């Protein structure tokens, strides 16, 4: 008699906490256990959802510099936010910088981070997106209430 594989249930909140723990491991260099504790999840959960982004070094898990864990994010375009599936943490980091720059512009009128995006762009599924948006386009989106968006698509 053949045994079937266990089905892995996916919990979006647990996955998000695991990705938060991975980000902490990368940014602050904290251990997997400490990062899991700080994000209120378990080491096992982090390894379940983000294990491919860690490597074993001796007896410790060390975060790799980048990963290919798929994330559904939103990219801001001149016509408004668009949901995209990103398969690389470096691209996700660029979209995060764009979201932070837009949020700072929307809330405080600060253009510095928008200018720092420069001519940076990302290519997702063969389509190229410019990260820097002009302030006129952003103002139109703000007035039309299109700019209230989260980086992670739900």
pTM score of the predicted model: 0.83
Residues 137 and 75 in one domain: yes
Residues 96 and 132 in one domain: yes
Residues 89 and 129 in one domain: yes
| pLDDT-based confidence at residue 145 (cuts at 50, 70, 90) | confident
Q: Is residue 40 part of a domain?
A: yes
Residues 87 and 128 in one domain: yes
Q: Find out whether 68 and 52 touch, Cβ atoms under 8 Å.
A: yes
Residues 44 and 80 in one domain: no
Q: Compute the mean pLDDT over every residue in the chain, rounded to the nearest whole number.
A: 89
Residue 57: which domain range?
12-63
| pLDDT-based confidence at residue 18 (cuts at 50, 70, 90) | very high
Q: Is residue 55 part of a domain?
A: yes
Tell the burial category of 79 from Cβ atoms under 10 Å away from its Cβ (0-12, 13-18, 19+): exposed
Residues 87 and 139 in one domain: yes
Compute the distance between CA of residue 12 and CA of residue 71 in angstroms, rounded to an integer: 11
The confidence score (pLDDT) of residue 133 equals 83
């Amino acid at each position: 008699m053949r045994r079937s594989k266990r089905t892995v249930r996916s919990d979006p909140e647990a996955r998000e906490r695991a990705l938060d723990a991975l980000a902490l491991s990368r940014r602050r260099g904290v251990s997997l256990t400490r990062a899991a504790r700080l994000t209120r999840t378990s080491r096992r959960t982090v390894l379940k959802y983000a294990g491919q982004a860690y490597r074993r070094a001796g007896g410790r898990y060390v975060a790799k510099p980048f990963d290919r864990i798929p994330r559904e994010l939103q990219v801001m375009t001149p016509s408004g936010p668009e949901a995209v599936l990103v398969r690389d943490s470096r691209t996700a980091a660029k979209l995060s910088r764009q979201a932070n720059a837009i949020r700072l512009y929307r809330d405080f009128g600060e253009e510095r981070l928008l200018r720092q995006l420069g001519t940076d762009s990302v290519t997702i599924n063969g389509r190229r997106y410019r990260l820097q948006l002009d302030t006129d386009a952003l103002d139109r989106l703000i007035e039309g209430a299109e700019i209230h968006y989260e980086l992670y698509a739900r």
